[in-house]
Each structure stands twice: as structure tokens, then as C-alpha cells.
Structure 1
């Protein structure tokens, strides 16, 4: 495990309650760009589900939802917040699911914590577990950036982020079999602005 991955995992463990308090109870409007394209009961993966609020909670209303996260502390909170939803600890670079297991994936604020050299591995795993024609809605970076905050959310806990430019992300998505459907910019309630990409696995 790289130092960055360990810092991210341990950070989310250490500030689990703080992060829960900071997150809005309502998912960003951009989630509807995914859910409006799905049939009721579709199987959806929330990749990097955190404490289950707000994305897992919103998805589980209409869809067969599975939450996956790297942090045990986050998952403990999620088990309380979204009882009855299947929750697993796992690594996005090697998803613990069979090929073509999901109709859609929501990856809110998770890929941007992965070291840049491993982004292609994660995106390839997303493509592998999606059914042909399945959708991915994912937070990505705009300009290439790597950095950290040693006192994130005034918690005294370090958090790290890294992502290539959005053009490089598009190249990676297309290389592993995604078609780009749309792009949206979201003002995150934690004070940042991130692009989201909606992509679809080739149906052929």
C-alpha cells in the first residue's frame, strides 16, 4: 500500500464523525443525471460510499444498492445510516465483484484520492463490473493536481488528493471502453469545485 493510500484510509477512519457532520444530508443535484437514466431496481455500486450519507441513502430508495469503502470507521457509520444496504470494505483498484455485476456506478469524491498512477486501474475495474451500456458518474479533477491538507475540516487529520487533468481522464475512460456522455461542475458544500463526468460502457 502506498503512503498516500494509507494516509487517506487512516484519515477517513480518524475523522469519520467530523466528516459525517460536514456532509450535507442531500446529495448533489448531479446524482439525478445518473438516476434518471436507470430503471427502478437497477443494481448500483456506490464506490467510496463513506458513511452512507447522502449518496448511498438516496440510491437505496429506488435501486438495489451496494456500498464499498476503504475505511472501516466510515462503514461502521454507514451500517447505522443505511441499514439493510449491502456494505463491503474493499479497494477500488481490485473490486470484489464479478464481471458485469452492476448497471451503474456512482463514485463521488473517491477517485480523486487515489494516486494518479492507479487511476487507470480503478477506471478499468469500473468498466469490468458494469454491464454493457452501464453508466458511471464520477468526480474527477479539472487541472492536474496533487496535494494535502494537514488539518482537513479543522480536525487535525491529514488528507491527500491527486488527479490528472480532465483531458487525461477522458483518454483513460475511452481507452478502457467508456464513451463520454456529459460533464458537470458541482460546487461541493465543503468549499471546493469539482467536475463530474458521466460515462457509459460500450454496449457492443
Structure 2
């Protein structure tokens, strides 16, 4: 594990309760861009599920949902906050699932913490575990940026982010076999503004 990823994991472990308090109970409207394209009881992966609110609990009410995170503290909260979902501690660069396991994947504010040189590896893992014609909805970066905040959310905890430009992300998605079918900008309640992309996997 890289130093950056260890910092992110340890950061979310340390501020699990504070982050939970800052999150809104209402899922971002953009989630419907994925869920409207799925059938009831389809299997969905929430990659970087955190404490399970507001995204995974929404998914679990309608779909066969699996939440994955590498922060043990975040998953501990998720077990309390979400009923009906399977929770797995793991790494997005090496997903602990077999090929074609899911019909949809969402990655809200998680891919943007992965070092840039590992983004394509993560996208390839998403493709591996998605069924053909499955959908990915992910938060990405607009302009390329890497940086950290030593006092994120005024907690004294360091957090780091890393992402290429959205054009580079599109190129990665295309190389792996995804077709982008939508792009949306979301104002997060924590004070950030990030683009989301919706992409469909077509291995043919």
C-alpha cells in the first residue's frame, strides 16, 4: 500500500464519527442516473461505501447491495447504519470478487483518493467485476490535481486526493472498454464540487 493510500485509510479511520455527522441523510440526486438503469434485485457494488449513508442504504432498499471499503472504522459504522447489505473490507485496486459479479457499480468520492497512476488499474477492476453492459457511476476530477489538507473538516486529520483531468479519465475508460453516457456536476454538502461520470461497460 502506498503512503498516500495509507494516509487516506488512516484518516477515514480517525474521523469516522465526524465524517458521519457531516454527511446528509439524502443521497445525491445523481445516484438515480445509475439506479434508473437497473432492474429490481440487480447486484450493485458501492466501492468506497464509507459509513453507508447516504448512498449504500439507498441502494440496499432496492438492490442486492455489497459495500466495500478499506477503512475498518467506516465499515463498523456501516454495519449499524445499513440493513440488508453485504460489507467487505478490501482494496479497489484488487477487488475481492469474481468476474461478472455485479450489474452496477457506484464509487462516490472514493476513486479521487487513489493515486493517479493507479486509476486505470481500479477502472480495469471495475470492468472485470461488472457484467457486460453493466453501469459504473463514479466521482472523478475535473482538472488534474494532487494535494492534501492537514486539517480536513477542522479535525486535525490529514486527507489526500489525487486525480487526472476528466479528459484523461475518459481516455482510461475508453481503453478499458467503457462508453461514457453521461456527465454530471454535484455540489457536495461538505463543500466540494465534483463531476460524476456514468459509463457502460461493453467488452465487445
Give the alignment's TM-score, normalised by structure 1. 0.99
Q: Does 1:61 align with 2:55?
A: no
User: 1:83 offset after TM fit, Å?
Assistant: 2.9
Tell me what 2:71 maps to: 71
Aligned pairs for 1:17-166 (under 5 A) are: 17-166=17-166
Distance in 2 separating the partners of 1:51 and 1:193: 21
Tell me what 1:170 maps to: 170
RMSD of Structure 2 on Structure 1 (CA): 0.7
Secondary structure in structure 1 of the residue aligned to 2:93: helix
Distance in 1 separating the partners of 2:71 and 2:39: 30
Tell me what 1:184 maps to: 184
How many residues align structurally?
A: 204
Superposed structure 1 runs of 4+ greater than 6 Å apart? none
Secondary structure in structure 1 of the residue aligned to 2:20: helix
Q: Is the 8 A contact 2:60 2:83 kept in 1?
A: no
User: 1:118 offset after TM fit, Å?
Assistant: 0.3
Distance in 2 separating the partners of 1:170 and 1:203: 16
Q: Deviations over 1:11-70 (max 9, x none)?
A: 000000000000001110000010001100010000000000010000001100000001
Secondary structure in structure 2 of the residue aligned to 1:137: strand
Structure 2, unaligned stretches of length 5 or more?
none
Structure 1, unaligned stretches of length 5 or more?
none
Distance in 2 separating the partners of 1:160 and 1:203: 33
User: 1:84 offset after TM fit, Å?
Assistant: 3.2
Secondary structure in structure 1 of the residue aligned to 2:29: coil
